[in-house]
Each structure stands twice: as structure tokens, then as C-alpha cells.
Structure 1
Amino acid sequence: MPICLARLAIYTAALSPLTLAAQSTPLTVTSPDHALEMSFAVQPPEKTADVASGRLVYSATFKGKPFLDASGLALELNDEPALGSAVRIVGTTPGSGVDDYTLTNSKISKVHEAYNSLTLHVAESSGSHRTISIEARAYNSGIAFRYVIDRQDAFSDFRLKQEDTEFKLSSDATDWLLALPNYRSSYESEYIKLPTSALSNQGGVSSTFLIGMPLLMHEPGTAWVSLMEADIEGSSSMYVTNPSGNWAGHYFTTKLSPRFDDATVAVTGTLPYHSAWRVLSVADDPGRLVESNLLTNLNPPNRVPDTSWIKAGKASWNWWVDDVDANGKPAFTTENMKRYVDFSAASGLPYMMLDAGWSAPHDITKLNGKVDVPELCRYAATKNVKVWIWLYSTSVMDQMKEAFPLYEKWGVAGVKIDFINRDDQRGVQFYYDTAREAAAHHIMVDFHGTRTPWGIERTYPNVMSYEAVLGMENNKVGRRDSPTDRSVFPFTRLLAGPMDYTAGAFNNATEDGYIARNTNPMAMGTRAQQLALYVVFQTPFQMVSDSPQNYANQPAFQFIKDVPTDWDETRVLNGRPGEFATIARRHGTEWDLGSITDWNSRTLSVPLSFLGSGAYTAEIYEDAPDAATEPKHVTIRKQTVHANETLTLKLAPGGGSAIRFVARTGR
């Protein structure tokens, strides 16, 4: 049985000096395949004989090579010294387990992953003799740990000012990072490629970056590593920074998002308390990080008993093209929105996404007179289409208990909640409150203006997607969405979970021919790349972003109509962040493949070993021979293929390839 933390101080006092000295040696948890090891120890202060007391640290190796050196573990609680700065290890509880569960509308449908675990019981050497545990797990795909504080005599209420977790890289890594301006952003920016040491010393002077999750790190010759967090309920979001201030520093420390109502504290509450999981996926190749299921593994099981009403699918969308009507003119009216419903029905899309402007300002229970949502829902139902509606986040915070029952009565399928722009403790709670209340009224959710995912979609499967990406909307105003950014996102933003990038642009342009505009916008890169994004960028709620007339009589639109949005299996076949990516996903017996490149043309060889036995018909949508100058041109062909064959993909600059593999019946 685990040691009762309330008695740890008594237990510590009973330990002999010899036992304490023995516990100062590293304590290790190893992954089932023995490739990953995570070790714990205390680092005693200099000039002391008490080797069993000191600063709590951990380290990690991958295939025998260190990728994290001794890194501190501590919490700054109340007004006392950091809990973890002067402690003894007073006991451990080893264990093992298997995460075995199903996912709804995800990148994989069934998960079965083993892990080994170690719970480290720690007590302060002096002062209040507070106690804390570190719960750690080692999977074949990564390691994770979190802080656990049980009820104890020393204190019951707590004010967590900061978390002092360190990630001391064993070498100066190359990082792809999301540098954010402050704690109140939408996580919508480029991922910057820089060495870790550059993040503390810009221009020869000390400097810092506030870095949002996920963070991708490559220690050459050792490992690819991603840093994220999971199960953040009751907590505040984690950021990291390199605090070293010098050109030789290559490590990170945590920064918790401060509360809006008290910037001196991150989390308040009563014991017991556990932090979010700190999650480090580790692999030889960045593609394995994309395939990892660690975030959902480390979140609580499904809390929605009946999920039969939660359906993945694609949606027509009025906003990106500026509400254009059949004549190409903006018209935000009920009649024009019915035209988008008609387009969904004709194209086999189950949804229509109605964006901002339908509700009265800051009152999401009243119409503003432009679009009659109940009427639109009624009309859509006659076409076997369901309507999603856009909402402003602060109004949802104030009115969800009144609004969600009303939307259920109207027949609304889902809500797109925008401009959340907060991930402090109350902001985090908003996500859980929204998911719970929406599920009670059979409403799906798409979070926009949001932090990146952390696995809540396992706990609340009605959470379908999140934005938190420099998406295609940027084409309406500037040049910030490019094929180069798109080739980074699979290995950065997509690691965290579903991504509502809003693909589907058919007004495709070269880098030189592109012009930013709000109505009928363009997108840089080829049309074949836009098709491929429906496979590469996973989300169960996909936008079909362009106008109905831009898809009319376009043979390439068939791929968008056919491609699934929920998957049973995901394989990353090749890729490097910022260069190219090829991903295959399976839905039932059908496989779909998407391959994209940056502004460099590429020829890629793709083995088809992921296919099952027998013959498949490959429906191939690829860049036409002249796509480098005519990016709208797509070549469509079919061929019979088998798992022992290799396909050669030729991608134009900013190009791509999208392929459906349909199993053939008979011979």
C-alpha cells in the first residue's frame, strides 16, 4: 500500500542515517521497452554531510544517452520556501499499468499502451515538514510526471505562486517554439526555429521569450523531444522560458499563467491538489511524436455516457469568403446562409458553420435581425444538414446556462467559441464548464481564440476541435500563412491535438502572385496542397472554407467530399519540421494520404507498407506538371497498388499530393 503522506514526517524521523543515505542515490522508472529512463535524487547543499537532504531533481535518458540533466522540482506555495528545495526522499511506490480505452472522432480509435510508474514521497527536512509526492510514468513513447499534495497538518489551503520545474537539456537543442507576447493570447503565431541558447541572449544581451506549448526540441544524435501538458483541470496553464540570460544557457523553467484577479498567484485552492502532467514525448524521429497518444492517456476517462449524438464531419462556412452570395457579393442574410446549407446538402457535408454577427452584441440569447438562426436550423433540418453557430467567449461565460438549452431547442449542433484569450486558473475552468454544460444539451464545441489542446477531448468527446494556430484566415489581411508554416505545424501545433486550421482554398496563388484580400481571398501554395491538408491537419470538424461557386465544376473538389474526418489509425511516413510531411490515416478499410512541402519542390518515395493485404485503388490528386506557375492545376488519376509497392510523389513548390486508397473487392 502507498505510504500515507500525512504520516511522512513521522516516518522520516524514524529512518536511520544509513537508510537516508541509501535513498540519496537515484531512483528510476523505466519504460516497458527499456529505452527511456527517468531518475530522481536529492542534491545536497555544498559543504554538508547530510547527503539525504537537499534539492529534489530528476534526469532522463533515451537509449542510454542523457537528454535531460539534473533538473529541479519544486512548488512555491504560500509564503514559505519552495517545497522541493530542502527535502528528503522518504519512500517510493513503484507500479505499472496499461491505458486501454477507445476514442471518439480522433486520430486513433483504440489505445492500448503499457507504462511503468513510480511515486516518489518527499518531506521537508525542517520548518513545517510539509510533504509532497511526484507521480511519474514512463511509456515507450515518452515520460510524464506531476506534483501531488495530500491533506496534511502543516496546511490545508494553498496559494501556488509559481512552479519551479526545470528542463535542463543535456545539449544545446534546436527548438521550434511558439513565442507569445503575454499570458493573454490566442496562440496564433509562427513557430520560430532557434537554438535553446539563443532564447536567453539576443543581440549579446540577456533576454527572454515566453514560450507556449507545445515546444519541439531536437538534441542531434540523441532524440527528438516535445514538451506539453495534460489534464490541466484545477490548474493554470504552463509556459516555459530560458532564464539563464547568457549565451551558454540551454535549459527551460516553467511559468504558470497568473490569475487575472491576482497576478501574484497562479492557483488557489484546498488540499488535496495535483498539478497538470508535464509530458515529454521522446523519439528517434519527429513523426513518432505525431503518432503519440500520451496526452489522451494522461487525461481522465470519458464523462459523457451517451456519445451517439457526437458526429465528426465537414462544414460549409460563410466567414472566410466574406459571406459572398451567388454573385460574389457579401450578403449576411438568412436567405444567403440557406444557400450555404444547400451547398452542404448537395456536397454531402453534414454541417453548415454560421459565423459571427447573428446575435445581439454581448447577448448570445438574442438575434440581431440579420440571420434568423431558428429558421436556418429548421431549414437545414429539411436538407439533413445541421448548423453550428459562432459565440463570443465572455458572453458564454455569463450566459451558457441560459443559452445552451435555448440552442438545443433551436436544433443547433455545435458552438464555435471565440476570443477566449486566457488560460489562467479561471480560464482553464471555463473550458471544463463549457464542455460539461454543452454535453448536457447535446452540443458539440469548437474552441477558437484559445490555448492549444491538452487532451480534454478524451474526457469530453463533444469537444471536437481547437484553433490555436496561425490559420488560413490570415490570407484575408496579410502574408502570415504560407506553405512553410504549414510544413512546421504537423510537428509542433498538431502534437497537442485537433487543429481547426480551416483548409479548402481553391483560389490558389504562387508566392509572387498572391494578394491579401478580405472578400474571395487567395491562399499561397497549390490546390493539391489544400487537398492534402485535410489528411495532414487532423480535426474531426473540418471547414470547407471557400465559396460554393469556387468549388462548382472543379473535379478536385471530389477529394474534399470523400475524405473522412475521423480516423482509426495514423502513420507519419516521412517529414522534417519546416520542410515537408507525409501522413497516412485509416478510416475503416480506407486509407488516405496527404503530403505537403514548403516552397521547395520535392520528389518523395513513399512505401505503401501501411496498407493491408490485397489490392487497393489509389485515387491520386497531385500537382500538375505546371503547378509551379499555375497552382490551381491538379492532375487526377487512378492506379492499382499493393502494400509491397512504393509510390513516387512529385510536389511542386508550395505543393502537395492527396490520395485515397480504397480496398478492392475480389481480384
Structure 2
Amino acid sequence: MKLRNFVVLMLFSSIGEFAFAQGFVQTQASPSGKIVLHFQLSAQGIPSYRIDFLGKPIIAPSKLGLFLESGQLNQGFKLIQNSSTTFDESWQPVWGEVASIRNHYNELKVKLENTTGQVEITFRVFDDGIGFRYGLLGKAGQTGELSVMEEQSEFAMTGDHTAWWQPGDWDSNEHTYTTSPISKIDGRVYLKETSISTQFIPDYRACQTPIAMRTTTGVHLAIHEAALVNFPAMQLNVNPATRTFTAFLVPGAALWRKAIVPVGFQTPWRVVLISPDAPGLLASKLILNLNEPCKIADVSWIKPTKYVGIWWEMHLGKSTWDYGGTQTGQSAQGSTGHGRHGATTANTQKYIDFAAEHGFNGVLVEGWNTGWEDWFGKWKEDVFDFQTPYPDYDLKGLAKYSLERGAPIIVHHETSGSATGYEKHIDKAFDLMQSLDLHAIKSGYVGRIIPKGEWHDGQWMINHYNRVLEKAAAKKIMVDAHEPVRPTGLHRTYPNFLASEATRGNEFNAWSVGNPPEHETILPFTRGLGGPIDYTPGVFNIKFSEYKPSPNEYQVHTTLAKQLALYVTLYSPLQMAADLPEHYQKHLDAFQFIKDVAVDWDDTRILAAAIGDFIVTARKAKGSPNWFLGAITDELARAQSVKLSFLPAGKTFVATIYEDAPDAHWKNNPTAYRIRKVEVNSTSVLTLKLAAGGGAAVSLLPKE
């Protein structure tokens, strides 16, 4: 159900030469007036904007425009038309952090024309930021396609803010984050990165979005995009002297041409989030609101999922993805393999039984299909057909067994970067899943992209990711995408897009320098702004030295208690209990929190946060009185006092607190934890002591 209020406030059309000669200025305030957008068209016909927040400039004058192959759309404009409207609705997401979302903004549209053609710039001004996009209208009567060469949208900062950023990599978003002033953004700090299989950073003065910032007065900003469809991903080039970011579109195989779009095309939204504090960034639903409503009529089959799977054991080296000793699927059928294959029938049954016993409703199986011996490090199109299982994997029998046990298999589709190869087989692969009554995939894009010359974040691949979502929706299949572009809120339009990786996930701790303790305190304010993260938390065997040749060289850079807290602080309707079943058997008391915690929510409260330092989040389970709370910190130990005023007044709850032991430490003593229970109500205050790299998880259940 949606509640709408759409009112035309003013309309000015056919603006004459006098207005153009003098320049043109139009303001548009947000509904409460907190944010004011100023659009200006100079006497030279150059469009720009600036933003005020609480009466003070927060974005300095910034130019607008694009470059087409047919000419420039950034100067020499005349104003043809402008209009202002207001819009107010409430809508209910299929799943999410809250049960209802308000979409309330004031909109300004300006239509401009120069010798190249017409462009319509639309601004939507919310109380927590703005979005703007370009409508490429072409010349009068023009049809066909337009070639976009580059975008000029600027974001001029009013100071040398502290920024949390990743480099402008066209092929990977799996880097750690750097904290620095804007003027010190320099991708050369990533020259020593060796753990990412595919990366390309051509400009050290560029960064990816989302990027988060904090001013000296504590105002927080983030720049990203929304509704990325049929267009390249936007990166930002940085001018350190002026602290100005300028949009840069990731190219395709033709490096000089960034996109080909039809006349009338609307670009993705360019987004600036603005908040007086860090929690406000996480509470914003602006990016979701800039996406189109749900396009799937029947959403009954879309289910938030808590899952286990055959995955982490391969990263540890206990087993392998490949069957072994073969080069093709055909020869695999006559081979006995090397004996270390992970996705066997017996091993899969073990995971299905474990999931069923503990109430999980999904089992991921990686390495089930032929082709793994012949893909890594190779740039070839035909590696996997996504239909042929290894000889030791009973695909049909296991699918049936998983459904009987209430823990359906999540089918792994690793493309090896060959998007054309995937599209060749995807219809038959999805038909196979339908015949098995399986409704979820985890896709992967490890490796250099095919078609050759394309990048993970260029227009061709953006369209590929979206084609997969649309095909999956038609076949009633949910998608968890790994190694894709950063999400931009498309899960509103396609709620079968449950989650994606698109970041440096937990697996990097298994075989690289790992993720620093601050990593998870930055992710929600950067990558997490665009959509849910399949981060794969829940590792209990933190050191895993029994699986590695060099003890203590690798480990997860958190405490066990922090791994529990991540189920609350890192939002996703798709959450994995990533560790091996035998490791959970040793800590069943702590494992209880993973069993209890929800994955779909009616309410979310960001109780305290400082980017890169700590986060405290509380969430109310969907259709339930139960609340869950997570608190995490960086490499510094700290105490957090948490007011429970979000609980209903007059009700008593039992708080089960899973916390770091007094001597816990992410490196020296990561598995030391304790569990305590206390009765609380809405006036109670919990004091949570977080170890270095630690955290605390709390379940709050009504007292019976």
C-alpha cells in the first residue's frame, strides 16, 4: 500500500532571452528546509548547483554537464523550462531494515538547450540529501542513439574533510579503506596490494563511490549513485587543491566512448547524503527512494535467508573446489579425483543436516559443477556450463533431500569473469534450477571480463548484471552476486536481488593480510549505503592454524564476540554462518545467538557510531517483539553505554549478552568470551566493554 501526495507548486515555461542574458537562479528547499539547493545558469549558459545545510554551505558551486560524441552538453545553454513539485508517499519494502519507508522530497526540473541538443536536469531535495540526474533529450525530433564520452558533474567540498575511500579501480572493489583528508587521496598507497586477483587502477587521483566524509564541525556526507541501469559506474576524480570531485565514467572496450544510450535516456541519479552525525547516514533511505518501485508482481517466493555452506573449508585449504586430475567435464566423469573435493554428496548431506538441525533455511554448495580444474588464471570463454555436476555429487538427489529437510541448496554459478559464457548457458541453467525447485544462486565474477576489453564496472557489464536479475526474477530465483559493481539500491526494484559482496569480504582473512579491525566499522558508511552486504560473518575458529602451514600468519582480525555482533551491524537479509559445523559444535552456547538473530526487520535504530571507530545498532525482528543489538569497535578497546529506550515502555525483557571476556583481544586472545543474562526495560542502560577488535551481541526477548 502506498500513500501519495503529489502537488505541482509552480511552472515556468518558455523563458525568454532576458532571463538568459542575466543568468538564472532557482532554489529548492527540502520539505523541512534543512537543505537548500541552488541551481544557477550563468550568463554564458554554464549550469551549476550548490547546497546549503542548516543555513551554511556544504557543497560549493559545482558545474554540471556531459560530453557527447556529437558535442558538449555543459555550456552555451538557454533555459527552456523549469518546474517545481513536491512528492510524499510511504511504501513497504518486501524485506528490509524497516517495515515502512517515507519518500518525501521537493523536486526541481530545468530543461536546457544548446547547439548539441536538449538536456533536462532533475533535482530531488530530501531532508537527508539530494539526488540529480540528466535526461538526454537530443535535438528536436531526433531519434536513435547518443554516444556519451564523459560526465562533468562536480562535487566541490567546502573544506579538506576527513574521507574514507577506496581507489578508482575499474575491475575490483575488494580493497581496504584508507582514512585521509581529501587533499591526501592518492591511490599509490595500494601499489603493494597482491591479494586481489583482478584489479586496474589507472589514475591515483581517483576513488570509487560510495565515499564518506566528515567535516571539522561533525557534519557527515557521502557521495554515491542510485538506480545504475544501462550506464557505466561513476567514479570520482579528485582535485586535491580545490577539494573538488568530478565524475568519471568507467569505460568499456572502446575507451573513448563510455556509453551508448537511446535519445530520451535518464542517467542514474547522482547522490549526496548529508547528516549532522554519522548515524544519520545509516538511517537514510534516500538511495532506495530514488530507485523505481518493485517490478515483480508475485514476491511470495522471495525469502530472507540464513544459510551455511561448503565454502569456508576451501578458503582454509581443507578441501578444494575442483574434483581433481582432469581438464574437462567429460574426462571428470571417468576419474576418481584427488580425494579432497569439498562438494561431495556425503559432505553436502552433512551440511544440510546441520542446517536443518539448527533452523537455517539454505545451504550454499560451491564446486559442485565441472570445470574448476580449467579456469583459474585463464582468460577463456567456455569454462562452466552450470548444469553438469561432478561424478561425486548427486545433484537431483541432494536437491530433493535439501527440500525435504527445509534447507534448500543455494546453487553456485561462478562465471570465471566470462559473462558471455554465462549468458550462453543461463537459460538452461535456470530451467534446471526450476525443475529441481531451487530458488537461489550465488553468482561470481572472479577474473578478467569476457567480452575482452570490458571491465567489471563498465556499461556492458552493468547491463549484464541487470539482465541476470531480470532473468532470475522471471524464473523465481533469488540472487547473491559476488565480484559485481557496487549496488545502488536496485533491490527496491528487484527484491530478488537479496545481497551482493562487492567489497572486501571475510574470506580475505583466510589467505591474505586480512581485513584490519576497523574495516567493519567503515563498511556500513561506504559500501553498505548502496545495498546489503554478503560479508559471511560467524567465524569462530579465529586462528585456524591447523589448516595453514605457517601458524599465526593468517587469522580473522576480530574477536569471536565481534563476529556475532556483525549479524546486526552489517545489514543483509542474507546472512551466512560461515564456519565449519565442527567449529560451532565447540561453542554451541555462542552459536545460539546466530540461531536466534533475525535477518528481516521492522525497525532499526543506529544508537551510536563514529566512522572507523565503533557502531552500536539495534533492530526489531520482522513480525516479532524480539530485539537484537550489536556493538563493534576498531583496534581500540572501549566501553559503550547503551540506553534501551527503544524497548516498549512497561515491558520486561531478558537480555542475553554475548561479550568479550576481560582478557579478550582480537590478536592475542580472540576466542575469549562470556555470556550473561539480565532483566531490562526501556529505562535500563547496558554497559558493554568491547575488547580491542571486539564487540558484543545482545538478544532482547520479552520475559515470559
Q: Which amino acid aligns with 2:578?
A: S
CA distance in 2, matches of 1:646, 1:26: 51
CA distance in 2, matches of 1:574, 1:435: 35
CA distance in 2, matches of 1:330, 1:392: 17
SS across alignment from 2:461: helix
| Equivalent of 1:341 in 352, 357, 367 | 352
Q: How does 1:177-216 map to 2 (within 5 A)?
A: 177-181=165-169, 183-185=170-172, 187-199=173-185, 208-216=204-212
Q: Kindly indicate whether the alpha-carbon contact (under 8 Å) linking 1:476 and 1:518 is maintained by their aligned counterparts in 2.
A: no
Q: How many residues align?
A: 634
| Equivalent of 2:155 in 140, 146, 167 | 167
Correspondence for 2:678: 639
Matched, 1:368 2:356: no
Q: How does 1:575-586 map to 2 (within 5 A)?
A: 575-586=609-620
Distance 1:171 1:532, change over 3 A: same
Matched, 1:102 2:55: no
Q: Which amino acid aligns with 2:664?
A: A
Query: In the TM superposition, what whole-angstrom CA distance separates every residue of 1:419-451 from its partner, at most 9, and x where no partner exists?
Result: 166122221111221111111212110000111
Q: How does 1:106-255 map to 2 (within 5 A)?
A: 106-124=96-114, 127-128=115-116, 130-150=117-137, 152-153=139-140, 155-156=142-143, 157-181=145-169, 183-185=170-172, 187-199=173-185, 208-221=204-217, 223-242=219-238, 244=239, 248-255=241-248
C-alpha deviation, 1:307, in angstroms: 0.9
Q: More displaced, 298-307 or 609-618?
A: 609-618
CA distance in 2, matches of 1:234, 1:526: 42
Correspondence for 1:67: 58
C-alpha deviation, 1:482, in angstroms: 2.8
SS across alignment from 1:469: coil
Q: How does 1:115-514 map to 2 (within 5 A)?
A: 115-124=105-114, 127-128=115-116, 130-150=117-137, 152-153=139-140, 155-156=142-143, 157-181=145-169, 183-185=170-172, 187-199=173-185, 208-221=204-217, 223-242=219-238, 244=239, 248-260=241-253, 262-322=254-314, 331-360=342-371, 361-393=383-415, 394=419, 395-419=421-445, 422-509=456-543
SS across alignment from 1:137: strand
Q: Kindly indicate whether the alpha-carbon contact (under 8 Å) linking 1:358 and 1:373 is maintained by their aligned counterparts in 2.
A: no
SS across alignment from 1:458: coil
Q: Which amino acid aligns with 1:409?
A: S
| Equivalent of 1:609 in 639, 645, 649 | 645
Identity %: 30
C-alpha deviation, 1:518, in angstroms: 11
Query: In the TM superposition, what whole-angstrom CA distance separates every residue of 1:41-76 from its partner, at most 9, and x where no partner exists?
Result: 123xxxxxxx3x321100001101111111110110
C-alpha deviation, 1:20, in angstroms: 3.2
Distance 1:109 1:195, change over 3 A: same
Q: Which amino acid aligns with 1:577?
A: I
CA distance in 1, matches of 2:264, 2:20: 27
SS across alignment from 1:457: coil
C-alpha deviation, 1:310, in angstroms: 0.9
C-alpha deviation, 1:16, in angstroms: 4.5
C-alpha deviation, 1:522, in angstroms: 3.9
CA distance in 2, matches of 1:545, 1:516: 22
Query: In the TM superposition, what whole-angstrom CA distance separates every residue of 1:225-262 from its partner, at most 9, and x where no partner exists?
Result: 111111111222111111x3xx52311101111123x2
Q: Kindly indicate whether the alpha-carbon contact (under 8 Å) linking 1:296 and 1:456 is maintained by their aligned counterparts in 2.
A: yes
Correspondence for 2:566: 533
Q: Kindly indicate whether the alpha-carbon contact (under 8 Å) linking 1:482 and 1:524 is maintained by their aligned counterparts in 2.
A: yes
Q: Kindly indicate whether the alpha-carbon contact (under 8 Å) linking 1:180 and 1:210 is maintained by their aligned counterparts in 2.
A: yes
C-alpha deviation, 1:202, in angstroms: 7.8
Query: In the TM superposition, what whole-angstrom CA distance separates every residue of 1:436-487 from its partner, at most 9, and x where no partner exists?
Result: 1111212110000111111111111111000011111112212222322122
SS across alignment from 2:235: strand
SS across alignment from 1:653: coil
C-alpha deviation, 1:329, in angstroms: 7.3
CA distance in 1, matches of 2:25, 2:464: 40
CA distance in 2, matches of 1:645, 1:630: 30
Correspondence for 1:654: 693
CA distance in 2, matches of 1:207, 1:460: 33
C-alpha deviation, 1:656, in angstroms: 0.5
CA distance in 2, matches of 1:431, 1:265: 20
Query: In the TM superposition, what whole-angstrom CA distance separates every residue of 1:378-415 from its partner, at most 9, and x where no partner exists?
Result: 11122111010111232432221221111111222211
SS across alignment from 1:523: coil
Q: Kindly indicate whether the alpha-carbon contact (under 8 Å) linking 1:567 and 1:585 is maintained by their aligned counterparts in 2.
A: yes
Q: Kindly indicate whether the alpha-carbon contact (under 8 Å) linking 1:134 and 1:146 is maintained by their aligned counterparts in 2.
A: yes
Q: Kindly indicate whether the alpha-carbon contact (under 8 Å) linking 1:67 and 1:222 is maintained by their aligned counterparts in 2.
A: no
Correspondence for 1:561: 595
Matched, 1:39 2:38: yes
CA distance in 2, matches of 1:605, 1:189: 32
SS across alignment from 2:491: helix
Q: More displaced, 415-424 or 464-473?
A: 415-424
Q: Which amino acid aligns with 1:383?
A: R
CA distance in 2, matches of 1:311, 1:41: 47
Correspondence for 2:20: 20
SS across alignment from 2:73: coil
SS across alignment from 2:32: coil
Q: Which amino acid aligns with 1:417?
A: S
C-alpha deviation, 1:515, in angstroms: 7.1
CA distance in 1, matches of 2:513, 2:547: 8
Q: Which amino acid aligns with 1:140?
A: D
Q: More displaced, 370-379 or 226-235?
A: 370-379
Q: Kindly indicate whether the alpha-carbon contact (under 8 Å) linking 2:121 and 2:135 is maintained by their aligned counterparts in 1.
A: yes
Query: In the TM superposition, what whole-angstrom CA distance separates every residue of 1:79-99 from its partner, at most 9, and x where no partner exists?
Result: 31x212221233311001024
Q: Kindly indicate whether the alpha-carbon contact (under 8 Å) linking 1:299 and 1:456 is maintained by their aligned counterparts in 2.
A: yes
Query: In the TM superposition, what whole-angstrom CA distance separates every residue of 1:574-623 from its partner, at most 9, and x where no partner exists?
Result: 12121111111111321111111111110111111222222211111111
CA distance in 1, matches of 2:304, 2:56: 42
Structure 2 length-normalised TM? 0.85
Distance 1:413 1:207, change over 3 A: closer
SS across alignment from 2:386: strand
Q: Kindly indicate whether the alpha-carbon contact (under 8 Å) linking 2:133 and 2:267 is maintained by their aligned counterparts in 1.
A: yes
C-alpha deviation, 1:330, in angstroms: 6.2
Q: Which amino acid aligns with 2:441?
A: V
Q: Kindly indicate whether the alpha-carbon contact (under 8 Å) linking 1:551 and 1:557 is maintained by their aligned counterparts in 2.
A: yes
| Structure 1 gap segments, 5+ residues each | 44-50
Q: Kindly indicate whether the alpha-carbon contact (under 8 Å) linking 1:509 and 1:526 is maintained by their aligned counterparts in 2.
A: no
C-alpha deviation, 1:264, in angstroms: 1.4
C-alpha deviation, 1:285, in angstroms: 0.8
C-alpha deviation, 1:184, in angstroms: 2.0
C-alpha deviation, 1:634, in angstroms: 1.8
SS across alignment from 2:601: coil
CA distance in 2, matches of 1:443, 1:383: 20
CA distance in 2, matches of 1:504, 1:200: 34
CA distance in 1, matches of 2:318, 2:511: 17
Distance 1:202 1:509, change over 3 A: closer
SS across alignment from 1:600: coil
SS across alignment from 2:388: strand
Structure 1 length-normalised TM? 0.90
Q: Which amino acid aligns with 2:26?
A: L
Q: Which amino acid aligns with 2:295?
A: R
